[in-house]
Amino acid sequence: MRRFKKLITVLLASSLLVTTLSACGNSAGESKTTGESGAKSTATGKSIKVGVSNMMTGPMAAGGIRMKQAITLAFEEINAKGGVLDGRPLEMVLVDDAGTQTGAVNAVNKILGDNVAVSIGPHTSSMVSATQEIYRKAGVPFITAATSPKLVEAENPYFFRISVSDGAVGPAMVDFAIEKYNAKKIAALYDTDDYGVAADGATKSFCDEKGVEYYSEGLTTGDKDLTSQLSKIKSWEPDVIFDFTHDAEAALTVRQLSELGMDDIPHVGPNALAMSQTYDLCDAEQLEGTYASTDFFADETNETMKAFLDRFHDRWNEDVERYAAMYYTAAYLVADAIERAGSDNPEEIRKALSETKDFEAVFGSLNCNDKGEMNTNLYILVFDGEKSMSVAQ
Amino acid sequence: MQVLIQLLITGIAMGFIYALVAIEYTIIWNATGLLNFSHDKFILFGAYMFAGTYVLSLGLPPVIAVLCTIITMFLFGIVSAFVIFNPLSRLSTNLFAVIGTVILGRIITEAVRLIWGPLPFSLDGFLKGSYKIGSVVVSRSHVIIILVCTLITVSLQLFFKFTKTGKAMRCVSENKTAASLMGVNVSINIALTVGISAVICAIIGILVVPIFNVELQMSSMIGLKGFASGVIGGFGHLPGAILGGILLGVVEIFGSMIIPSVYKDCLSFILLIIFLLIKPSGLLRDRK
């Protein structure tokens, strides 16, 4: 019995040790904000407060770091040029929302308690649906890059979105398939979560409209073997295959399509496939000729984008990805709206935001519609045999 | 028709994976009377060791990497037998041992996370490609899974039937006291069994690398389904484990042709519940 006790003690101690160590491992990534300090502010007036609900900790922390860096860089640039409204600097009220719904509710309440003029974030769709009523009650507009089409159902006049809604991605992919491949039959693989179901629904109704036959098969996040779904799709003989899945499943789809000898059918993947953490999981050869739809692409041939990529890299010594581009744009949009409103009154800024027209973002122009949706710039990218992408449309 | 053949091959390949999982924990159950709840973590560990260390960091050619992984995992199995299985199987109640293996699983997962990091990765070009027979396309990894699994099951049976060590292992699983009275060293025997089990786990891990990504959750579902196939075939019975595994793989993939594919996993567990209710002894158990 003594031996057993000893053993259990050792086991417990080592499992504790492992847990603590792994916790340290997680937080180590956050303090990696290197690079020299930013430009000096030349704006001297009373600062205008802008709330930022940012996932500094938690499961989305990697994105949170980029979001913070992007907004910091944009505000430094704006303030160095004299700020807004004749010399008033923008001041960031940064609060951690930990990437969770409860965290976001607390963060937004704290931001609103600070009397901000306008706010940026939270980022994910679930966090936005948890907080958008708080913003509405407080009468403060906010800008997010969340993508769920359900968010506009709340008809919240204070909600502004600068990313492309998942509901708009499917139809754009259908247009591409018809134009490029004269597709009559489109099959899709979708994740049965919020995102996949919405994208599948939007694509289906758009296909009905266009007179294209549509067939879709669902999967669950975490599925490893997609053979039965893909075999069913194969026997249906589609002209083009879509998939609306997340990182791991998007990579598996590419691999298993090839294993099942379906390479010859054109495949348009989701925005997850356009991110390096996903396409690094794929074999370069299997990836060749695959398309990915995304609302962000670090297009170095585009001058505005190239200049932004360089500035971001100089400031933080990190590469730009979707988070950075989106929230850099959000920060500039805030400055533009305050300037157009001519005041720091939240209601005036909301009105200015809703009237946004031809705002030049790094990835294209933004136009606000009556639902607060601003972005319709969707890229369809194509992979070559070396995992690099170019714009197909 | 071609779709059916294609599905049959995929089903059999997945079935063989489930069968190997069932075999791997059945031999430990037979030797020690313990359920190794960390068995799917052994698979995870093997896959990471092979892909992460031997292939990606050390740049070894796959064949040598496979050998190295097998040797390391065998040693790992022996060590965990002396540290965990042997002492725990002597205790009065099995509960301690169960907790012990669960904790071992946690330690392995966290260690994997610390050593290789939380981000998934894959091996470019490993067992990639497919064979085309007429209009049927069979992926190379599935063919290799079927071949390797058949080889392992046959050689395990031969080992247990014809070698002295194999016979001693069967003695230990029949009756530990009698075996030790007959001069069989029970603890070394258990260590060998756990070592062999760890080697099978490593092979399962290596075989699924080309079809799955290498990630922390890669083995949890095959672990559960391997458990289900053991129960379906007859718990603690090796031929039953193989039959149960293949049956589960095939039923699962053909079932998903009729019902929506999303419910594929449910199908396996419904089958498990049906067997527990109607024939708890499993398909082959009552022959004994």
Answer whether residue B155 is part of any domain: yes
**Is the residue at B72 inside a domain?**
yes
- Residue A387: the pLDDT is 82
Q: What is the pLDDT of residue A30?
A: 36
Nearest-CA distance B167 → chain A (Å): 30
Query: Counting Cβ atoms within 10 Å, is residue A291 exposed (0-12), middle (13-18) or buried (19+)?
Result: buried
> Given B106, B213, B222, which is nearest A251 (Cβ)?
B213
Could you tell me if residue B270 is inside a domain?
Answer: no
Contact B113 A15 (CB under 8 A): no
CA-CA-CA-CA torsion for A173, A178, A181, A183, nearest 10 degrees? Answer: 100
Q: How far is A259 from chain B (nearest CA, A)?
A: 5
**Residue B4 domain-assigned (yes or no):** no
Domain count, chain B: 1
Query: For residues A318-348, b (16+ Cβ closer than 10 Å) or e, as one string?
Result: bebbbbbbbbbbbbbbbbbbbebbeebebeb
Number of neighbouring beta carbons within 10 Å of residue A155 = 10
Q: Among A218, A261, A282, select the one facing B261 at the smallest CB separation.
A: A218
* Cα pseudo-dihedral A206, A208, A214, A218, rounded to 10: 60
Q: Specify the pairing of strand A291-294 against strand A142-144.
A: unpaired
Q: Which of B100, B110, B256 sits opposite A11 (nearest CB)?
A: B100
Contact between A191 and A246 (Cβ < 8 Å): yes
Residue B22 lies in a domain: yes
Q: Do B261 and A232 touch (CB under 8 A)?
A: yes
Residues of chain B with pLDDT under 70: 285-288
Range of the domain at B31: 18-218
Cβ–Cβ under 8 Å, residues A136 and A156: yes
| Mutation for A interface: B261, B262, B264, B266, most A CBs within 10 A | B261
Q: Which residue of B has its CA nearest to A59?
A: B118
C-alpha A359/C-alpha B70 separation (Å) is 60
Task: Please report the pLDDT score of residue A133 as a whole number.
Answer: 94
Buried b (16+ CB within 10 A) or exposed e, A4-21: eeebeeebeeeeeebeee
A217 to B114: CB separation less than 8 angstroms, yes or no: no
CA distance A245 to B16: 28
Q: Which of B125, B213, B257 is opposite residue A232, by nearest beta carbon?
A: B257
Nearest chain B residue to A226 by CA distance is: B261
How close A325 gets to chain B, by Cα (Å)?
23
Give the chain B residue nearest A224 (alpha carbons).
Answer: B212
Query: Considering the domain boundaries, does residue B272 fall inside one?
Result: no
In tens, the pLDDT along B41-50 reads 999 999 999 9
CB within 8 Å of chain B, chain A residues 357-386? none
**Chain A neighbors of B262, CB-CB under 8 A:** 192, 218-220
| Euclidean distance between CA atoms A174 and A380, whole angstroms | 11
Q: What is the pLDDT of residues B172-225, one digit of tens each?
A: 888 888 888 888 888 888 899 999 999 999 999 999 998 888 888 888 889 999
The Cα–Cα gap between A40 and A136 comes to 35
Alpha helix (H) residue ranges in B183-219: 186-208
B111 CB neighbours in chain A (<8 A) are: 18
Q: Where are the beta strands (DSSP E) in chain A?
A: 48-54, 90-96, 118-120, 142-144, 159-161, 185-191, 213-219, 240-244, 267-269, 291-294, 359-361, 364-366, 379-383, 389-391
Supply A237's token pair: 């003989």
Q: Which domains does chain A have, with CATH numbers?
A: 48-164+303-366 (3.40.50.2300), 166-294 (3.40.50.2300)
Closest Cα in chain A, distance from residue B57 (Å) = 16
CA gap A291, A271 in Å, rounded: 10
Residues of chain A scoring pLDDT < 50? 12, 15-36
**pLDDT at A8 (0 to 100):** 54
pLDDT at A223: 81
Whether residue A5 lies within 8 A of chain B, CB to CB, comes out as no
* pLDDT the model gives residue A29: 35
- Closest to B253 (Cβ–Cβ): which among A8, A224, A227? A227
In angstroms, the separation between the Cα of residue A23 and the nearest Cα of chain B is 10
User: CA B68 to CA B71: how far, in whole Å?
Assistant: 5
Residue B205 lies in a domain: yes
3-state helix, strand, coil in chain A (%, to 5): 50, 15, 35
pLDDT on residue A3:
60
ipTM of this complex: 0.73
List the single best residue of A192, A193, A224 to mutate versus B (max B Cβ within 10 A): A224
Paired strand residues for A383: A389
pLDDT at residue A13, as a whole number: 54
Nearest to B221 among A218, A224, A259 (CB): A224
pLDDT of residue A31: 37
- Which residues 273-292 in chain A show a CB within 8 A of chain B? 277, 280-286
In a domain, B208, yes or no: yes
A224 touches chain B (CB under 8 A): yes
Q: Which residue of B has its CA nearest to A218?
A: B262
Contact flag A258-B211 (C-beta cutoff 8 Å): no
3-state secondary structure of A282: coil
Q: Token match 């009552």: residue?
A: B286
CA B142 – CA B249 distance, rounded (Å): 13
- Distances in whole angstroms, Cα of residue A92 to Cα of each of A146, A166, A249, A366, B103: 20, 29, 37, 23, 45
A219 → closest Cβ in B7, B128, B262 = B262
- Alpha carbon B86 to chain centroid, angstroms: 21
